[in-house]
Structure formats: C-alpha cells, structure tokens
Amino acid sequence: MRIVPIFTALLVLVSLYMLVMERDLLLNAAGVEPAQAQSDDTAASASTNERGLFGVVVQQITERDLESAVVLRGRTAASRSVEVRSETTGPVVSAPRPRGAMIRAGELLCAIDPGTRAASLAEAEARLSEARARLDEAQTNFDTTMRLTEEGYSAQNRVATAEATLQSARSGVEAAQAGVAAAQAEMARLTILAPFDGVLEASSAETGSLLTAGGLCATVIQLDPILLVGYAAETQIDRLAVGAMAGARLSSGAEVTGRVSFLSRASDVTTRTFRVEVTVPNPDLAIRDGMSADIMVAATASRGHLVPGSALTIADDGTLGMRLVDETNHTYFVPVTVLRDAPQGFWVSGLPEVADVIVTGHEYVTDGIEVRVTRRGEE
C-alpha cells in the first residue's frame, strides 16, 4: 500500500477545511481584516461583471437633409405629334413635301383634285339665289295682302295664304344656305394644312395617289419645346411637384435643363410607376425624339438619418426599426420608416435628432440590458 497518495489526499482535505470552515482564522493569521477581504471580493466581483457585459459597436448618427433630387431614367419625346389625314376622297394634285422639311402652321401639305365639287358648289349657290328671289317675292306679296286687308279690299283668308307662302320661302332659303355651306366645307377639305409649326417626319402623299377618307397625308411632330419622359416609383412621386427644376444628360452627352410640366395621377398597371414629363426648350432642334436621358428632378426637402442597411432589425411583432443605446448604455428599440435607399445604406425617419445606433451586435441584445459600448472608429 502506497503512503504518499494517502498523505496527499489528507493534506488537500485539511486545506479545504481550513479555507472554508476556518477562513477568518486564516485571515487573522495572515494579518488581513475580514472587512477588507469583503471589500476586495466586491471589487473583484464588479470587475468580473464589467468584463461579462456584452460588447456592441455604436455609431452616432445625426439627422440631416436628404439629397434633394430624384434621379429617373427616361427618354426624349416630341411635345406634339399628329398624323394628318384626309377627310374626303380624291387624287392628290400637289407636289409631295420631303421628309424632314420644316413646316409652318397653315402651310399646305396635300391638295386633292376637286372633281365635280366646284360644280356642286356653283349649283348650291344658284339654288340659294333662286330661294332668295322667291323669298323677296313672297315678302312683297305678304306685305301687299296685309295692307289691302287692313283697308278692306281683300279677304282675311288671303293673309293666311300669303303668310304660309312667306314661311315656305324662308325655309327654302335656309335649305339653300345649308347646301352652300356643305359644298364649301367639302371644297375646304380638298386642302390639307399643317396644324402647327413642326417637322415633317414622314413625306406627304405623292402626286396622283388616291386619298380616301381617313387616308394618311403626312406626319408632323413638334420638337420645340421637347419633352423628357421618365417614370417615378411610388416612393418618389410625392417628392416631385409641377414646376420643379430638372436637368438631364442625354445619350449624346448634351446637358439640358427644364421644368416639370406633368405628373401622372394614375400609375402604369404593369410597372406601378408614374409618368413624369419635363419640358425643355429646343430652338435649334438639336435634341431628337427618342434619345435616352438620365433625368434629375429637384425634390421637395425632407430630413432623415442615413444609416447602414445592416443596422436595421425587426422586432418580435414584425416592426422594422433599430436598436439604440441611451446615456446609461442600456439598449432600446425605435421603429423607423425607410424613406429611400442610397449607396451608403438607407434614409430613415423616426430616430431622435442625434441617435447612438448599434451597428454591430444589435441582433444579440434585447431591450433594457446594459452593454459595453465601443464607438465606431475606436475598435
């Protein structure tokens, strides 16, 4: 039987007994007062607790103005575009205007052969002359009959007959005038004129070609002013206003400025975006229809915090928000609303003006606990 292990075990048991059961006696022998030992234990415990706090990284973020512009991707478009069509039928007798020609309002685009329309107008005018002559005769007859009746030289029933003849003559004149107006309107349809100043995008109808009612004579577009057309998302449209300044860089590299002239009240059923139109002067017609454009529109000012996207969290009830620390380094949750995204993160509202946001460790803490705070930049 070995003596050393047994002796070692007895020595350990005696040491434990003295440390636990006779602790005060050992302290007195070592010259340490019990109160001082208790104080040392408390300090050691506090130090241990401090080292046991969960560490988080906090960034102080201050509220400021959002970037006051909305960027849209769009294109240029003619401010006016119309397909000028014929209202009657007949062969074209005018020379065609070349594509790209500058057109003034009221300028001739197509002339149609009148055919028998001139004769029809002359006939209608002759009928009007005859109807007016009959009206003059009926008016004279009526006046004479009225005078003779008043003097007792004519029967009363002759007045009624003369009055009926006069009314019939008046109706004949009105019908003849309507016939003349119809013939004149048909003659006016033979000349097709430009509705506004613009550019002839498609050549006018060729000489000798037959135009029917609704047939295309020419296509005219107006490029001064020109439109910049873009589409704003649901989160952007409320930040825009009619009359706001806007600028754009075209695919050609040119930079232009203008003002918002139209904001759609109804979204596109497919993309759920809203049409935005910016009117831009184009006196030299250097901007063409259909060019790509990066549009920047001045937006209404608003304020928020630009926070890292990784700092956002979701509460147990599904509320989007962020975890912050107060002046005593205790955590708390604040709901936020995302205003828009940015390359550096997200613009949000709902935070205090100056917020100590937990950017690292927020997913591992709950509300109301004390944490060990490290400021970003001091890690």
Q: How confident is the model at residue 180 (pLDDT cuts 50, 70, 90)?
A: very high
Asked if residue 93 and residue 61 are part of one domain, the reply reads: no
Residue bearing the bigger pLDDT, 23 or 111: 111
Q: What is the pLDDT of residue 67?
A: 62
Please tell me the total number of residues recorded for the chain in this structure: 379
Domain count, the chain: 4
Cα-Cα-Cα-Cα torsion 273, 279, 280, 286, nearest 10 degrees, comes to: 80
Place of tokens 């979701």: 314
The phi, psi pair for 256, rounded to 5°, reads -130, 160
Non-local (6+) Cβ contacts of 49 within 8 A are none
In a domain, 274, yes or no: yes
Residue 38 falls inside a structural domain: no
Same domain for 20 and 95?
Answer: no
C-alpha R_g of the chain: 47
Domain identity same for 286 and 314: no
Whether residue 261 is contained in a domain is answered as yes
Please, is 69 exposed, middle or buried when counting C-beta atoms within 10 Å of its C-beta (0-12, 13-18, 19+)?
Answer: middle
CA 50/CA 150 separation, integer angstroms: 129
172 and 230 together in one domain = no
> For residue 117, what are the domain limits?
89-193
In 3D space, the residue among 335, 340, 341 whose CA is nearest the CA of residue 320 turns out to be 335
Q: pLDDT-based confidence at 163, cuts 50/70/90?
A: confident
pLDDT tens digits, 311-356: 999 998 999 999 999 999 999 999 999 887 788 899 899 999 999 9
Assigned domain for 333 exists: yes
Its pTM stands at 0.56
pLDDT at 35: 47
Q: Which of 298, 333, 353 is the last residue of a domain?
A: 298
Answer whether 68's CB lies under 8 Å from 301's CB. yes
Q: Is residue 7 part of a domain?
A: yes
Residues 231 and 287 in one domain: yes
